[in-house]
Amino acid sequence: MRLEILNPQAATIEHTAKAAHRASDLRGKRIGLYWNLKAGGDHALTRAAELLSQRLPGVTFKRYWGEVGSLFRMATASDVQRIAVECDAVIGTTSD
């Protein structure tokens, strides 16, 4: 007996994005610390900055959180633009 059925899964819209170019050396770079306001994220970024400061002479840090949201914050296009101008790299938290 052959039961023919239709696939319930929808096609998906495929997005493509290119990763940013990476410099091989972070010394002297400006690193953004992006916190989405989830608990623990601020402590994580603080520790990351401490450790990187020990390893990477001249590195500087700036903190960001998203412009919109409540329990967790999300970055708007203008947030992203500002970060792109002010930072050479970003460490983000938390994707749970």
Partner 1 sequence: MVEMEKAGVPTVSFTAAGFVKDARRSAQAFGLTALPVAVVPLPLTNQTPEEVRRAIDGCIDQVIQGLTESPATIVEAPAAGPAAERLTIEGADTLEALDRMNALFLERGWSDAFPLVPPTPDRVERMLGGTRRARDEVVAVLEPGFGVGTVEKIAINAVMAGCRPEHLPVVLAAVEAVADPRFLLRIAAMSTGPHAPLILVNGPIAKELGINSGRCTLGPGAQSYPNVVIGRALRLIYMNVGQAYPGLMDMDTIGSANKFSLCAAENEEANPWEPFHVEKGFDRAESAVTVQTVYGQTDVLDFANTTPERLLQTIVSAATNIAIGSTGRWLEGHWADPRTKVEVRDHGLLMLCPEHAAIIAKHGWSKADVRRFLYEHARLPFRLLRWTKEPSTLIAGRPDLQWLLRYPDLELPIFEVPECFEIAVVGGPAGRSMYFYGAHEPVTKPIAR
Site for partner 1, rule CB under 8 A = 1-26, 31-32, 34-35, 37-44, 47-48, 51-52, 55, 65-71, 73-77, 79-81, 83-84, 87-96
Backbone angles phi, psi at 59, to 5 degrees: -70, 140
Q: How far is the CB of 60 from partner 1 (least distance, A)?
A: 14
Of 6 and 57, the one with the shorter C-beta distance to partner 1 is 6
Question: What's the CA gap between 83 and 87, in Å, rounded?
Answer: 6
Q: How far is the CB of 72 from partner 1 (least distance, A)?
A: 9
Cα 91–chain centre separation: 6
Q: How far is the CB of 53 from partner 1 (least distance, A)?
A: 11
Of 20 and 28, the one with the shorter C-beta distance to partner 1 is 20
Question: What's the CA gap between 65 and 5, in Å, rounded?
Answer: 48
Our CA angle for 85, 91, 93, nearest 5°, is: 120
Of 28 and 89, the one with the shorter C-beta distance to partner 1 is 89
Of 10 and 57, the one with the shorter C-beta distance to partner 1 is 10
